[in-house]
Structure formats: structure tokens, C-alpha cells
Copies of this chain bind each other. A is one copy, B any other.
Amino acid sequence: MSVGVRVAVVGASGVVGRMMVRILEERHFPVADLKLYATARSAGTAIPFKDAQVIVEETGEAVFDADLVLFAGGDDASRRLAWGAAERGGVAIDNSSTWRLDPRVPLVVPEVNGAALQRHQGVIANPNCCAVALVMALKPLHDAVGIRRCHVATYQSVSGGGLDNMRALLAQSRSLLEVPDALEGGDLQRIAGAAGAEVPVAFNVRPQWRWEANGDTEEEAKIEAETRKMLDADVRVTVTTMRVPVLVGHTLALHLELERPLDPPAARSVLGAAPGVEVVDDPAGGRFPTPLLAAGRDPVYVGLIRPDRAEAHGLRLVVCSDNLRKGAALNAVQIAEHLLAAGRLSARTRAAMP
């Protein structure tokens, strides 16, 4: 008999939900029982976990008999079901944006503000994928010298929008590549029309989120607010978000104004000592962060650390991370591991799944 945790994953058939199941297995999380839920469309699907196939059930108004409920199913399921899971004695870790700014709900990246978990009331929010990567890079620098201002431009992969967006990028790319004169700029517009998307993302750059009333993308608003909640409400963060034709892995270009000076070698030391961060910074040797390097890997990669000469104490850097792993599923599982280690995830003595 070993200690095991009864786990439920809501939205298990989506790109983040599947990654949660994979990461529970990869990290040998002590799962005693695994229930998977999704919308009616995906109910009945089999998803592999260890040597078994787990059949997905319809979420509906599910009552979770679980110690840990991972929500990856979007705002609606989280809004309806997260607090119910908590009331039945489980802990809900929610990847949607629904509860992230709620004062009752800790918004946590364990390496950055794991202590906030001590105050949880049953629902814990997993941050936006870019906000995770951003605070992972900013926190060590903020602790070292203070960050006053942070300008961010994002280069985000389509997997942030789910499997359908990934398939759309592949389909659009295939359409364009079938055209023999694809090298001609003028033809791209014609092909884009043929690809069936009004503003495609293949061979293009575009914002691809809902718009806030103030003109920001929903993504910009999330990154700014969540970074302030996790890092420091006094840091001024301003973001321009864009999607690029990349399947997995988000890239962020940061221009920072620091309170006290920090030269690139010192910044490399500070970041190199931060847990979960990997400095990759030998550009002349062809080593720098890219989404392709980050895809499928756990660290948040930081590099291209250079001065920002527009500021008195300025620093530029580039951050890449797998938006499905550290940006979503991995961070959620790490929160669960943190709770388990602190004895704050109700784990009963029970046979773990083989």
C-alpha cells in the first residue's frame, strides 16, 4: 500500500488536458485513481495512462469524488464546477482564467510564489501561459535589483488556441506550399484566400484573441494583471501579443528598466541560479532560446541577455517556454506536487495505480 491521490481531469481531450495526463505519468505523480472528463463530443474517447486506456466521461454536472481536480476545460466548466470540487474536500487547480484574479484564489507558479499556496481555500489558479514564462524570468531579476518597467512583445504559438488552431496552421501551410510561385509576395494574398481563412496565421503574424473594451487583446490584459498579482503590483508591465506560425512554444522579447544596474554577465548568473530556468546564451555559437528548443521540454529558456541602452539601467532578454508544459500542464502538476509535499493535498492511504 502506498499513498495515492484520486485525480480527475476536466477537459481531458484538449491539448492541455492530454498534456496533464501525460505529465502525471512522466513525473510519477502518485495517482490512485484517474477520472477523465470532457464535453459530450469527446466522451467515450480512450486516453492512455501508464498501461491502461482511460475512457473519457461527459463532464455535464459531474460530482467529483477526487482529492485533486485539474481543470483544463475552459471557463464554463471551471465557473460551474471548481468550487463544488473544493466543497467536497478536493483541491481544484484551474487552468482557465475564470478565478485567476479572485482575491480568494492563489495564482501560483511554485518557483515564484509557492508560499501563496498556504492560503488556498480549495481553488488554485494556474496562470496564463505567457505570464508563467514571464514571471519565471522576472522574479530572480526583481529580487536581485528591482524591476521598474517591463515592455513585452510576444511571439506565441498556435497551440495556445488549442488543437483546432494547430490543425488550421498545418492546413493553411499545406495550401500555400502547393502553389508553385509561393515566393512571390503578391500571390500570398490570393493563396491566403484559398486557404479559407480571412487572416491566416500560416506565413503571417497576427493577434488572435478576443478584444477588451479598451483595445487590448484579452491575452495582453491577462499577462499584465496576472504578472502584477504574482510578482509585484508596482511593476509596470505593458505587452503586445502576436501569434506566429509556430506549433508549440511561446517566445517573449523583454525590454526592462531596472531600479539598480545589472550587467548581462550578472544577469546570467542570477537567472542561471533560478530553479526551472535554463540560460542558453551563446548566440555566436548558435545557442539561444527558440520555441523549437523549448517544445517538449520543461525549463523556461532565457537568453539573448543584452543591455537596453534606451534606459539608465536597462536589460533586454528573450524567453521561450513550452506553453503546454510549463505554461499550463506542468505548472498545474507542480502545484499539486507542492501541495502533496506540504501535506495539504488530502491523500489517503490507498494503492496507487500500477
Contact = CB atoms under 8 A, between A and B. Distances in A.
Interface in A168-186: 170, 173-174, 177, 182-186
Given A174-B177, A240-B153, A292 B188 contact: yes
B207 A316 contact: no
The DSSP consensus for interface residues of chain A is mixed
Contact of A183 (B163, B240, B290): B163
A318 interface: yes
A205 B323 CA distance: 15
A215 B151 contact: no
Interface size class of A (residues with CB under 8 A): 35 or more
A316 B203 contact: no
Q: How many copies does the complex hold?
A: 2
Interface stretch (A65-73, A104-112, A306-314): A306-314
A185 B328 CA distance: 14
A340 interface: no
A204 B324 contact: no
A161 interface: no
A347 B326 CA distance: 64
Nearest to A204: B292
Given A188-B295, A240-B316, A296-B188, A283 B211 contact: yes
A172 to B, nearest CB: 11
Contacts of A284: 211
A96 interface: no
A37 interface: no
A266 interface: no
A43 B105 CA distance: 69
A240 B177 contact: no
